[in-house]
């Protein structure tokens, strides 16, 4: 994970331009941050714990060279010493890094043997010192950096700066890195929106490529292949930035704003994607094996596809958690389609699984919210979720949009796209009505009664089990309440032992073929002291609390997910946790 924002310019730029860029990357991690710059010929290193959001330099500070980083800790605790940038022992090489250097320990040991001292526990510090070591035998910074890349293993990107020569190098080998240009000012960032206030002219660095900037020679950015150092041409692209400017509007948090945007995002997801969905459905119909993959919330959407395609299209599809995909790779071949689900399009576990699928000759597709992402570019077919940028770390609107796209794809597989489309438009209207202020007020009252609990359970059956899984994840990650999801019928086979007087259990009980089973389980839990929070179309006598959800048929997947998002958001508020930035998390998980 981690966010990188750097620039090299032939004229001085206000340092807060760099800080503002870095603030846009906080979604990639917010354990600590740091920056390196040269002001009035003096090197200046800043490192702080926590979020960069409230930080700024004094207004008069300007620089031509700026490297900054927001960290999600992988190696070493959250301390100032472990924050980036990391300097070589001679303080000449400055590094900011995203990703993991897998063989860092053996490289570190060999450097320590040569007398190098390490200030941090990070894997990053080996890069700066390895470059220093290379430069003892040659003068060429580009070649030295390239040589170091041959020694390090793992998926990473980094920016290296040579203080003496003022050369800056960006390397991409598995984690995203994008170059932005304005005149002779070159920006290198983990994501393009970080420099959208300055420029929308970008070049994507691909894996195995280097961006090289030497302002002293008045050079623009030159691109090379890693290893061979063959110069390459990179297209400059003008990105659309109009709809990238994001505000909280009148909402207290981005999360609540994004939840409420589900009044219209489902419609947008299907309206703009009819042709792409038909194409995906045709591919699914042609293939013998269909795998959905994803992580976290996106994994639960993937898991729900099993029920969606079963119920609507009578089609068998499989699901695998992206990080486990390697273990089932022997089943993947040219008769397979592997469909990645992702909000960010940068989740490394899903990218790696798609790469494995490609290497086995499978067709790859993805349903992704971030259209500028790696997944979007590497898959044979890509469907944009069109939910708009999601800022809150916990996924909300992109989740229900992905569900809508899957439902419509299933209808398209049986040539009933129009019926599916109309059904989803009807769902959108019902969800719009549901999301009224009274509905939220009612959920706030329930959250107030339960926010102090240490444990909760969520039960569902069939596709509603995946709603339960998603609800439990939301409650865990936002309010840190230990919450487990169960198939309603499964609890009695052991886990019901955990129920005691007052244990809150959320029952997902829409009026479908599974309702009776869910209500029976709720009765069994209640007999043992559990308190039932029922989500259904109609109140049942077994419910102690009741949240009314409209009947959206297959669209219940979306309709029942939303109240659980609202509930977990308010559990976080009552517990005084920031729902936009839960502890230990990051929005884009670019490390394994």
Q: Which residue is nearest to ligand F6R (CB)?
A: 296
Among 3, 21, 180, 296, binds ligand F6R (CB under 6 A): 296
State the DSSP code for 435: S
Interface segment toward ligand F6R; rule CB under 6 A; list 3-11, 128-136, 294-302, 570-578: 294-302
Contact of 352 with 207, CB cutoff 8 Å: no
- The nearest distance, CB 575 to ligand F6R, in angstroms, is 17
- Long-range CB pairs of 521-524, under 8 A, 24+ apart, other chains included: 521/459, 521/488, 521/489, 521/491, 521/492, 522/459, 522/488, 524/491, 524/492, 524/496
Q: Does 295 bind ligand F6R (CB under 6 A)?
A: yes
Among positions 3-22, residues that touch ligand F6R (CB under 6 A) are none
Q: What is the DSSP string of 113-158?
A: HTT----SS-STHHHHHHHHHHTTT-S-HHHHHHHHHHH--SSEEE
Q: Does 412 bind ligand F6R (CB under 6 A)?
A: no
Examine the residue annotation and report whether 587 is marked as an active-site residue of this protein.
yes
| Residue keyed to tokens 């209808």 | 411
Name which of 15 and 370 has its Cβ closer to ligand F6R. 370
Interface segment toward ligand F6R; rule CB under 6 A; list 35-43, 58-66, 126-134, 340-348: 340-348
Name which of 395 and 427 has its Cβ closer to ligand F6R. 395
Q: Does 297 bind ligand F6R (CB under 6 A)?
A: yes
Among 403, 589, 590, 591, binds ligand F6R (CB under 6 A): 589
Examine the residue annotation and report whether 2 is marked as an active-site residue of this protein.
yes
Q: Does 394 bind ligand F6R (CB under 6 A)?
A: yes
| Residue keyed to tokens 């320990």 | 105
The alpha carbon torsion through 86, 88, 92, 97 (nearest 10 deg) reads -40
- The nearest distance, CB 526 to ligand F6R, in angstroms, is 30
Q: Does 350 bind ligand F6R (CB under 6 A)?
A: yes
Among 344, 427, 487, 521, binds ligand F6R (CB under 6 A): 344
- The nearest distance, CB 338 to ligand F6R, in angstroms, is 14
Among 347, 374, 464, 483, binds ligand F6R (CB under 6 A): 347
Closest CA to 381 of 365, 392, 367: 365
Print the binding letters for residues 493-522 with ligand F6R: x by CB under 6 A, - otherwise.
Answer: ------------------------------
Among 343, 417, 466, 483, binds ligand F6R (CB under 6 A): 343
d(CA 552, CA 529): 32
CA distances 72 to 112, 134, 192, 193, Å, are 26, 29, 19, 19
> For residue 100, what are its two tokens?
């993991």
Q: Does 565 bind ligand F6R (CB under 6 A)?
A: no
**Rounded to 5, what percent of the chain is helix, strand, coil?**
40, 25, 35
Beta strands in 286-378 (DSSP E): 289-294, 318-321, 336-342, 363-368
d(CA 50, CA 37): 20
Number of residues that bind ligand F6R (CB under 6 A): 14
Give the burial class of 118: count Cβ atoms within 10 A of its Cβ; 0-12 exposed, 13-18 middle, 19 or more buried.
middle
Q: Does 298 bind ligand F6R (CB under 6 A)?
A: yes
Q: Does 388 bind ligand F6R (CB under 6 A)?
A: no
Sheet with 545-548, strands from edge to edge, namely 482-487, 455-460, 504-508, 531-536, 545-548
Q: Does 304 bind ligand F6R (CB under 6 A)?
A: no
Positions annotated as catalytic residues are 2, 587
Footprint of ligand F6R (CB under 6 A): 295-298, 342-344, 347, 350, 394-395, 473, 477, 589
């Amino acid at each position: 994970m981690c966010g990188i924002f750097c620039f090299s310019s032939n004229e001085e730029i206000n340092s807060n331009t760099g800080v503002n860029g870095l603030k846009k990357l906080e979604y990639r991690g917010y354990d600590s941050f740091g920056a390196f710059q040269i002001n009035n010929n003096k090197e200046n290193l800043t490192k702080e714990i926590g979020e960069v959001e409230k930080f700024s330099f004094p207004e008069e500070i300007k620089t031509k060279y700026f490297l900054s980083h927001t960290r999600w800790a992988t190696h070493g605790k959250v301390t100032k010493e472990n924050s980036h940038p990391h300097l070589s022992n001679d303080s000449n090489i400055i590094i900011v890094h995203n990703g993991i250097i897998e063989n860092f320990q053996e490289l570190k040991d060999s450097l320590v043997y040569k007398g190098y001292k390490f200030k941090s526990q990070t894997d990053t510090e080996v890069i700066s010192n390895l470059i220093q070591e290379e430069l003892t035998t040659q003068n060429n910074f580009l070649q030295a950096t390239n040589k170091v890349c041959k020694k390090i293993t793992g998926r990473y990107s980094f920016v290296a700066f040579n203080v003496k020569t003022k050369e800056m190098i960006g390397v991409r080998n598995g984690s995203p890195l994008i170059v932005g240009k304005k005149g002779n000012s070159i920006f290198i960032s983990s994501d393009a929106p970080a420099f959208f206030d300055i420029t929308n002219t970008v070049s994507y660095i691909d894996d195995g490529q280097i961006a090289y900037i030497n302002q002293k020679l008045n050079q623009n950015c030159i691109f090379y292949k890693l290893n061979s150092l063959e110069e390459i041409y990179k297209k400059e692209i003008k990105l659309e930035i109009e709809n990238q400017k994001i505000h909280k509007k009148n909402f207290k948090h981005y999360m609540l704003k994004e939840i409420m945007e589900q009044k219209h995002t489902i419609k947008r997801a299907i309206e703009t994607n009819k042709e792409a969905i038909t194409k995906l459905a045709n591919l699914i119909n042609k293939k013998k094996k269909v795998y959905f993959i994803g992580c976290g919330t996106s994994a639960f959407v993937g898991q729900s596809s099993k029920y969606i395609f079963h119920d609507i299209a009578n089609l068998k599809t499989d699901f695998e958690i992206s990080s486990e995909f390697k273990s089932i790779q022997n089943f993947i071949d040219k008769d397979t389609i592997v469909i990645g689900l992702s909000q960010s399009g940068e989740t490394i576990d899903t990218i790696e699984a798609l790469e494995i699928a490609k290497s086995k000759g499978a067709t790859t597709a993805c349903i992704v919210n971030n259209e500028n992402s790696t997944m979007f570019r590497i898959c044979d077919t890509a469907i944009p979720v069109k939910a708009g940028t999601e800022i809150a770390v916990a996924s909300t609107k992109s989740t229900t949009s992905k569900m809508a796209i899957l439902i419509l794809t299933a209808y398209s597989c049986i040539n009933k796209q129009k019926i599916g489309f109309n059904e989803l438009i009807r769902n959108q209207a019902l969800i719009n009505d549901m999301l009224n202020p009274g509905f939220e007020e009612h959920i706030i009252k329930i959250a107030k009664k339960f926010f102090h609990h240490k444990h909760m359970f969520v039960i569902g059956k069939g596709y509603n089990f995946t709603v339960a899984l998603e609800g439990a994840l939301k409650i865990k990650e936002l309010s840190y309440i230990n919450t487990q999801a169960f198939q309603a019928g499964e609890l009695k086979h052991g886990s019901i032992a955990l129920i005691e007087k007052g244990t809150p259990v959320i029952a997902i009980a829409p009026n479908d073929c599974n309702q009776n089973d869910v209500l029976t389980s709720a009765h069994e839990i209640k007999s043992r002291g559990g308190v039932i929070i029922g989500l259904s179309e109609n109140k049942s006598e077994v419910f102690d609390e009741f949240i009314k959800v409209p009947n959206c048929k297959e669209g219940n997947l979306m309709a029942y997910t939303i109240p659980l998002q609202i509930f977990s958001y308010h559990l976080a508020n009552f517990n005084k946790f920031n729902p936009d930035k839960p502890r230990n998390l990051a929005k884009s998980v670019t490390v394994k």
